[in-house]
């Protein structure tokens, strides 16, 4: 039994390109036409695609840096409280605040929280976990992991009109243009 068209909301329009150069040119053309909600897919990283898509710098560096700083300050505060305030212990006449002895713990906690920030920040920024993506419903899209270069303009873009998008992608050199629905 097939779902009604009301249940099948359009996700976007997908087009295939022959090579990385065509994909970069298509991304530039899409960007020049004012589209912002689109993405490119290829089996390997393509130098210059970020610039062609006019993508902003990633926020992941800031997330990792802030988590590292929290780890550094948190570790220092934790050790200070334990060794100086809560249970001061005079060991061989050394000062209570013996920072060189604390460095391994401070370093490890800084690295640990930085790693957590990187992993969970990447999940958050990429919208993960997402167990099924509408593009996986396209048989043609399976080539994206082998030898396919794709652009998908999402229906959420304010300028989106399926017919105009298909014409734009065809003019940009796209082949195998298809509408993708979110089941």
Q: Do residue 78 and residue 121 come from a single domain?
A: yes
Contact 100, 83 (CB under 8 A): no
175, containing H or E segment:
strand 175-182
Q: Do residue 117 and residue 66 come from a single domain?
A: yes
Contact 41, 150 (CB under 8 A): yes
pLDDT tens figures, 81-115: 999 999 998 888 888 898 998 999 999 999 999 99
User: Residue 130: its pLDDT value, please?
Assistant: 86
Q: Do residue 118 and residue 153 come from a single domain?
A: no
Which one of 125, 157, 173 terminates a domain?
125
Domains held by the chain: number: 2
pTM of the model: 0.77
* Residue 4 pLDDT > 50: no
Domain range enclosing 115: 60-125
User: Residue 6: its pLDDT value, please?
Assistant: 54
Cis peptide before 33 (omega within 30 of 0): no
Q: Do residue 79 and residue 121 come from a single domain?
A: yes
Going by the DSSP 8-state scheme, the letter that residue 85 receives in this structure is I
Please state, for a pLDDT cut of 90, what percent of the chain lies above it: 84
User: Residue 150: its pLDDT value, please?
Assistant: 97
């Amino acid at each position: 039994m097939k779902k009604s068209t009301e249940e099948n909301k359009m996700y976007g329009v997908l087009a295939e390109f022959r090579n990385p150069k065509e994909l970069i040119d298509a991304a530039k053309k899409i960007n020049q036409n004012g589209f912002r909600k689109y993405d490119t897919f290829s089996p390997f990283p393509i130098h210059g695609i970020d610039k062609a898509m006019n993508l902003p710098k990633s926020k992941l560096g800031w997330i990792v840096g802030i988590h590292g700083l929290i780890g550094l300050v948190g570790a220092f505060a934790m050790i200070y409280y334990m060794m100086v305030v809560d249970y001061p212990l005079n060991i061989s006449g050394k000062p209570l605040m013996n920072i060189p002895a604390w460095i391994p713990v401070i370093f490890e906690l800084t690295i640990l929280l930085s790693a957590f920030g990187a992993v969970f920040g990447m999940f958050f920024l990429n919208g993960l976990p997402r167990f099924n993506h509408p593009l996986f419903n396209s048989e043609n899209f399976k080539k994206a992991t082998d030898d396919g270069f794709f652009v998908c303009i999402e229906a959420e873009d304010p300028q989106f009109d399926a017919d105009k998008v298909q014409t734009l992608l065809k003019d940009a050199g796209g082949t195998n243009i298809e509408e993708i629905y979110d089941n």
